[in-house]
Structure 1
Amino acid sequence: MLCPNTVSHYWVVREKYTQKFIGLVSLDTHHVGTDLEVSYQFLPHWWGKGYATEVVGAVIHIAFHEFNLPRIVAETQTANKVSCRLLEKLGRALERTVMRFGAEQAIYSITRCE
C-alpha cells in the first residue's frame, strides 16, 4: 500500500475532441494529514455537463484499484450543494462537518469495500 503522506497525483482534464482545458483533479494529502483527498476544480463553462462525475469517479477507481488505497476523502463547503450531491452520487458518505477556511466544510469518505 502507498503511504498517504508521500503520494501526490495531479491530472489536467481536457475535452476529448478539442483538447480544451476543462479543469484539474488531484489526489493529495488531506488538510488533516491522515488520508488522501480527491479534489477537483473545473472551469464554470464545463459545470453541469457530467465531466466532474466521470473524472472524479475514474480517480476513485485508480485510487482503489491501482494504488490499493483503503480509503479516500473529499472536502467541500456545505453551501456547495452541487458538489455535495456529486460526492454522494459517487458513493461517498458524509463523515462529519468542520469549520475551516471561514465556512462549514463537509468531509465525505469512501472505503474500498463500499
Structure 2
Amino acid sequence: MTDSLADEVLRSDAPVPGGEPRAVRRARALALRAAGRSVPEIAGELRVARSTVYGWVRHVPTNPEWRADRRRAHAKLMTDARWAGHHDERERRRDAAPRRGPRPDRRRHRP
C-alpha cells in the first residue's frame, strides 16, 4: 500500500457501512495498524471480528516502543486495580482518625 493511499484511508471520517467492499476495509485496517492502532480498536472501528483484523494485519510489524508503552500502561492499570481497595481503606481510616495537634518538641535541652 502506498503512503498516499494510507493517508487517504486514514483521513476518511465517514462511518464504515456494512456493505463496504472487503478490500477497502482491509486497506483501512492496514493503514490504521501502520499508524499504531491496536487490533481491538481497528476491529471496533471497522465493525469486523478481531480475528479477521488480526489475519489482515499480522504481517505488519509493530513498533517495539508501542508494545512497551502498552505493556507499561496495562501493568499500571492492573497495579492500581489491585491496590485500590487498600488505598480506599487507608484514606477511610485517616479520615476517621482523630486529628492531633502539633507534635511536642522532643529534643533534649542541655543545660
TM-score (norm 2): 0.26
If each structure's strand is expressed as a fraction of its own residues, which one has the higher value? 1
Q: Which has a greater percent of helix?
A: 2
Q: Indicate the structure (1 or 2) with the bigger Cα radius of gyration.
A: 2
Please give the TM-score of this superposition, normalised by the length of structure 1.
Answer: 0.26
